């Protein structure tokens, strides 16, 4: 999503930047997003353009890193690549 804001509306948490259900950190990211938005509001007051620019600028690099890590973890741990791994999963379970 290129922006988490439009006009005077900002998205946070899963509505804006769901990492992955497998990551188990949706609540934490929502709180961090709310905190980043609150800090920007405290700094810029009712200047919503400045608030939202800072919110996107400060939080986006962190969120993108979390999303990349979650995607890597899903690929490494949930997408089985060998017949042996599939057999082991089917016999032993996860």
Domain coverage including residue 60: 5-92
Q: What is the pLDDT of residue 94?
A: 61
Could you tell me the pLDDT band of residue 53, with boundaries at 50, 70 and 90?
Answer: very high
Residue 52: which H helix or E strand, with range?
helix 48-78
Structural domain total, the chain: 1
83 exposed, middle or buried (CB, 10 Å; 0-12, 13-18, 19+)?
exposed
Task: Give pLDDT tens digits for 72-94.
Answer: 877 777 778 888 888 888 888 76
Is the pLDDT confidence value at 9 over 90?
A: yes
């Amino acid at each position: 999503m290129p922006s988490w804001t439009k006009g005077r509306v900002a998205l946070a948490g899963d509505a804006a930047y769901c990492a992955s259900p497998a990551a188990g950190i949706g609540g934490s990211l929502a709180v961090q997003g709310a905190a980043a938005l609150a800090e920007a509001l405290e700094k810029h007051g009712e200047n919503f353009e400045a608030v939202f620019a800072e919110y996107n600028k400060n939080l986006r690099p962190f969120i993108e890193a979390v999303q990349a890590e979650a995607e890597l973890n899903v690929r490494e741990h949930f997408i089985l690549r060998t017949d042996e791994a599939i057999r082991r999963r089917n016999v032993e379970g996860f």
